[in-house]
Amino acid sequence: MEEQAVSPALWGLIVLASLISVEAGISVAIIEIALGVIGGNFLGLHPTPWITYLASFGGILLTFLAGAEVDLGVMRAKFKESFLIGAVSFIGPFIGGIAVCHYALGWSWAASKIAGIALSTTSLAVVYAILVETGLTNTGVGKIIMASCFITDFGTAFALSALFVEFNLYTLVFFAVSAVLIAALPWVIRPILRRYGERVIEPEIKVLFLVLVVFMYFAKIGASHAMLPAFVLGLVLSRVFHENRLLQRRMRVVAFGMLTPFFFVNGGMNVSLSLLAANVGLLVLLLVVKQVTKIGLIYPFARKYVPKEAMFTTLLMSTGLTMGTLSSVFGLERGIITQAQFSCLVAAVVISAVLPTFIAQKWFSPHHLLVELESRALAATMPVDLNGGDGGKDTIHRRAVGQRVGRE
């Protein structure tokens, strides 16, 4: 496809994904990935530098927003649950992937480690997108799932850095810059919100975008990745976001309306169906290793700590995309894995982003939580007559009543 036609074709797929998502009741992230596969293999779409950049930034922005959704109080109170679920989610596929690839498939140790790292991931971006769409970010199970995702992907990022990344002076600079920005921004953002907040030009959002871009720049030159500092920054700013719901809503609108579709569609475009057709057995084996080790180890802990949402939690924790794709790209660029191995790894990661989430939403959705959320939303908007009548000038909303009583 000609370069000039890529943009309208891509936006056409993004719009189509939104419509299908609404009509089918399936997460738009899943549809965008699937249409990315179709676009890359049948429509001649290919990742261009600007698509790759927007996709990278969209992934980092999703990670930041996921961190901002985490309730630190809940994370502290549920640390054991989150840590155990997140830890086994990483350890099982990491060890299982290395063992199967090296001993059963005969891959080199280096290639097997790349496979283990790629299969160990849980996609914060996909999980966050689904929790936001369903409204479960404000529930206890939603917060536990996001905290567990962070533990898993922290293990993935640490393993990739410890086993492969060549540290240099810029790596230390990246760590130093990240630490300074994370420490300083909570003190800086509040005055910016007071002085410049609620303006059409959104200076506060641009400041946050600038910080994320700085993370990306120093991560690139420091041979690292901006995912972890972006998530930690979201964590330390979570209280600011909880106090400024309008800012949170505006960030979501920009993210889901403009940037994150590129992240998901680009992930689908990286899958080569021709190579997969020639290596379908390898693809199935890698996918089975990831899902069996994840589900087998996560479910007992989920059953213990979130019994009503155990399978829903397990399936969402079995997803993968961002770090799995990045780990595979890292291995390919350095000649550690072949193009066929890369395609199968990326395809397994992409399928793991689609299949478990589809099953979770269709058959294991926590309907009791959704009904409870809808009831709360309805109660918050029901009119209350202070005079005991049927309406009139003294009829106000319950939320307004609460705010007034609180002030008095």
Per the CB < 8 A criterion, the answer to whether 230 and 60 are in contact is: yes
pLDDT digits (tens, 9 = 90+) for 198-230: 777 788 889 999 999 999 999 888 877 787 788
Q: Which CATH class is domain 48-365?
A: mainly alpha
Domain ranges for the chain, please list them.
48-365, 367-408
Q: How far apart are alpha carbons 116 and 102 in whole angstroms?
A: 10
- Which residue would you say has higher pLDDT here, 1 or 87? 87
Per the CB < 8 A criterion, the answer to whether 18 and 229 are in contact is: no
Q: Which of 234, 71, 79, 232 is nearest to 138 (CA)?
A: 71
- Residues in CB range of 85: below 8 A, 6 or more apart: 144, 148, 151, 298, 301, 302, 305, 313, 317
Predicted pLDDT of residue 67: 78
Predicted pLDDT of residue 400: 38
The top-scoring range by mean pLDDT among 28-37, 108-117, 319-328, 357-366 is: 108-117
Predicted pLDDT of residue 102: 97
Predicted pLDDT of residue 397: 41
pLDDT digits (tens, 9 = 90+) for 40-94: 889 888 888 889 899 889 888 887 887 787 767 767 778 899 999 999 999 999 9
Predicted pLDDT of residue 249: 84
The top-scoring range by mean pLDDT among 175-184, 190-199, 200-209 is: 175-184
Q: How far apart are alpha carbons 38 and 286 in whole angstroms?
A: 22
Q: Is the pLDDT of residue 404 over 70?
A: no
Angle between helices 203-221 and 49-69 (to 10 degrees): 110
What single letter denotes the amino acid at residue 401?
Answer: V
pLDDT digits (tens, 9 = 90+) for 304-347: 999 999 999 999 999 987 778 778 877 887 889 998 898 899 88
Predicted pLDDT of residue 286: 96
pLDDT digits (tens, 9 = 90+) for 247-304: 888 888 888 888 889 988 887 887 788 888 999 999 999 999 999 999 999 999 999 9
pTM above 0.85, yes or no: no
Q: Which of 159, 332, 137 is nearest to 249 (CA)?
A: 137
- Residues in CB range of 311: below 8 A, 6 or more apart: 299, 302, 360, 364
Q: Is the pLDDT of residue 392 over 70?
A: no
Q: How confident is the model at residue 383 (pLDDT cuts 50, 70, 90)?
A: low
pLDDT, mean over the chain? 83
Predicted pLDDT of residue 141: 87
Quick one: average pLDDT of 119-123? 89
